[in-house]
Structure 1
Amino acid sequence: MIPVFDGHNDFLQRMVAAGPQRDQLWLQGDGTGHLDLPRMRAGGFVGGFFAIWTPSPETEEDSLAAMLKANPPFALPLPDEVSNADSLPHAIAQAGALMAMERSGTLTICKSAAQIRETIAAGRIAAILHIEGAEPIADLDALHVWHAMGLRSLGPVWSRPTAYGHGVPFAFPSSPDTGPGLTPLGKQLVTECNRLGILLDLSHLNEKGFDDVAALSDAPLVASHSCAHAVAPSSRNLTDRQLRVMAESGGLVGLNYAVGFLHPDGRRDPMHGFEIMLRHLDHLITLLGEDGVALGSDFDGAQMPEDLADASMLQNLVQAMLAHGYGRELTEKIAWRNWIGVLEKTWGG
């Protein structure tokens, strides 16, 4: 079994929603969703980025869910900005859930690449505390508080504006060039994240914001859960120009498993087999090199392919990469080694 280190999951929302049953959900599972400890172990999932995310108001979520069921082409308006006051309780609850998972003795919240390696060797899940959409971070003082709590990865936006920048809408077909760049505070955020060694996640950021980060950051450019725009022209996917900029920085892209971002025609129909995923991986490897491609599932946050329906099936993807001709060395790089490598460069060890 080849280990898998994953660039993005939304499991913490399920933990909070489970209430008093959260420990059981984590340790035993409840037969729903994509992740729990038994299915991680069955699939070789050894660690990854656990995202803290604030939902939009219920009316916006209902509208989003309805429109995402429509056939392409589609273009959803960006949800409204969520205030810090509204987002902070959600974020604290999700951070608390991750810390409860750590208290079970089965997971460690890691703050260095060396700690990730040690945690995996000890048989625990290596977790990175990540915030997707910086609404819970009111200012740079708050960034330092979150860093002290263990934050080591941050996406300035989800697909709605924040005080720091602008996300891409859910649209197909669409360019990611959909709005203005980073705000002045967003540019300060980039500099301070570099200083603290917090990875900046470019997934969900629009193209002008991407370019601002590229101009300001001295760290490798990383998109934790994205696909290739040349294969599937979704606004959420990265263009060849963006991929070349990332390659020049020594950056990395984690392949998103979400069906709607993989399908060349943007459909969210059931996907069987791995041909389309491998097409994306081939394209990413061509532009980023063998050290610049990894995995970023979006488990518990998106519709998965039928043959990768949850974490217990991860070795199906591993076997598909081997059968595709990647060989064990490249497959291991994509499955876990490249994430560790880019974190060493970003965190400084």
Structure 2
Amino acid sequence: MTATPVFDGHNDVLLRLRRSGRPDPVTDFLEGGQPGHIDLPKAREGGLAGGLCAIFIPSPHHTPDANGDFIAPAQQDALSETLAMARLLFDIEAKSQGGLKVCRSGADLRHSIENNVFAAVFHIEGIEAVATNLDALYVLHQAGLRSLGPVWSRPNAFAHGVPFRFPSSPDIGPGLTPAGSDLVRACNELKIMIDLSHMNERGFWDIASLSKAPLVASHSNVHALCPHSRNLTDRQLDAIRDAGGLVGINFGVIFLRQDGQRNVDTPLDVLLDHIDYIVNRIGLDHVALGSDFDGTTIPAALKDATGLPRIVEGLVGRGYDAEAVAKICHGNWVSVLERTWGL
């Protein structure tokens, strides 16, 4: 590993493995050699110490409707696929010979990072698998769920996700439903982190007014630098600061570039500009990394998890000292998860 380990706020490796069609995706992850941004050998080479491993269920056919919006999957389908991907994560843990740990506490997180064990956090992106009675939420929490985003970029029973639009304000559509408010209260009770990435602006403010936990956007960027609907306005950034939360910088080029283009030749300086902006606006303690590995198009200069040292080098080149680099790369994530989980 590099001298500065990276804990990352978002990846979609479980979905990639689930959809690979390969006979043994667990071994593919553990031994590497397959396409994708993350596997265990790539993580070790690049200093990726762990991250929020998302379970995401794509919309049917993953194509938008006539309005350009995505439709949520049926609850039964979402629950079945969620359980299949959770099993995949637990199978990887069981067969990793101590190389990966599903972390349920701050102690798990710190011990794993310090001992070169991949620190995986069970995260769900878009909670369609849970019905409005929330029974499944309590069961999933017992299984290890420690972080969730109420929505992906589509409406469900709990809220209205922000559609992918450029250029656009994130103020698109209504906020939380009554069931969404119940979900927020239950997450606070269970000490599950609530992820604000993919929330529209009204949903963001509904959660901000209701939740007692730090406000966290695991993989979102600065709207002032890239006016994509998925990015955060200055006012939202200020609220995250005031709640003791953080923003994980998304490596997706369409969320980084001022022109919103899917151009892999995006310089890493553009990514570093988003980090600088947040540091200057709301402070060093409120920015981290949230790559969206295996879920988006990233700069060619990074390629995959093996390219993470280039971000560390870029931060050092911009004058960040060792303590600041450690906070951005992993310390801020460990802090916010410990404070949210209360463990």
Q: Which TM-score band applies after superposition, normalised by the shorter structure?
A: over 0.9
Taking a change above 3 Å as real, the CA distance of residues 205 and 180 of structure 1, as seen in their structure-2 partners, is: same
Q: Please, what is the CA RMSD of the aligned residues?
A: 1.4
The corresponding residue for 2:18 is: 16
Flag as ranges the 4+ runs of structure 1 deviating above 6 A: none
Gaps of 5+ in 1: 65-74
The corresponding residue for 2:60 is: 57
Answer yes or no: is 1:134 the counterpart of 2:136: no
Among 169, 174, 190, the residue aligned to 1:175: 169
> TM-score of the superposition, structure 2-length normalised?
0.95
- The answer on whether the counterparts of 1:135 and 1:162 sit within 8 Å (CA) in structure 2 is yes
Answer yes or no: is 1:44 the counterpart of 2:47: yes
User: How many angstroms does 1:272 deviate by?
Assistant: 4.1
- The answer on whether the counterparts of 2:93 and 2:102 sit within 8 Å (CA) in structure 1 is yes
The C-alpha deviation readout for 1:242-287, integer Å capped at 9, x for no partner, is 0001110011000000000001110111234311111111111122
User: How many angstroms does 1:96 deviate by?
Assistant: 0.6
The corresponding residue for 2:91 is: 100
Among 234, 237, 242, the residue aligned to 1:248: 242
Report the Cα distance in structure 2 between the residues aligned to 1:318 and 1:76, rounded to whole angstroms. Answer: 41
Percent identical across equivalent pairs? 50
SS of the residue aligned with 1:226? coil
The C-alpha deviation readout for 1:77-110, integer Å capped at 9, x for no partner, is 2212322112111111110110011102321111
SS of the residue aligned with 1:172? coil
- The answer on whether the counterparts of 1:76 and 1:171 sit within 8 Å (CA) in structure 2 is no
- The answer on whether the counterparts of 1:52 and 1:95 sit within 8 Å (CA) in structure 2 is yes
Answer yes or no: is 1:144 the counterpart of 2:138: yes
Report the Cα distance in structure 2 between the residues aligned to 1:109 and 1:203, rounded to whole angstroms. Answer: 22
Counterpart residue identity of residue 68, structure 2: P
Counterpart residue identity of residue 5, structure 1: F
- The answer on whether the counterparts of 1:259 and 1:270 sit within 8 Å (CA) in structure 2 is yes
Q: Please identify, of 268-277 and 125-134, the stretch whose mean Cα deviation from structure 2 is larger.
A: 268-277
Answer yes or no: is 1:27 the counterpart of 2:30: yes
Counterpart residue identity of residue 54, structure 1: I
User: How many angstroms does 1:29 deviate by?
Assistant: 1.6
- The answer on whether the counterparts of 1:274 and 1:317 sit within 8 Å (CA) in structure 2 is yes
The C-alpha deviation readout for 1:144-178, integer Å capped at 9, x for no partner, is 01100100001000001111001111100000000
Counterpart residue identity of residue 40, structure 2: L
Counterpart residue identity of residue 162, structure 2: V
- The answer on whether the counterparts of 1:247 and 1:287 sit within 8 Å (CA) in structure 2 is no
Counterpart residue identity of residue 169, structure 1: P
The corresponding residue for 1:190 is: 184
Counterpart residue identity of residue 313, structure 1: G
Answer yes or no: is 1:301 the counterpart of 2:303: no
The corresponding residue for 1:68 is: none
User: How many angstroms does 1:62 deviate by?
Assistant: 4.6
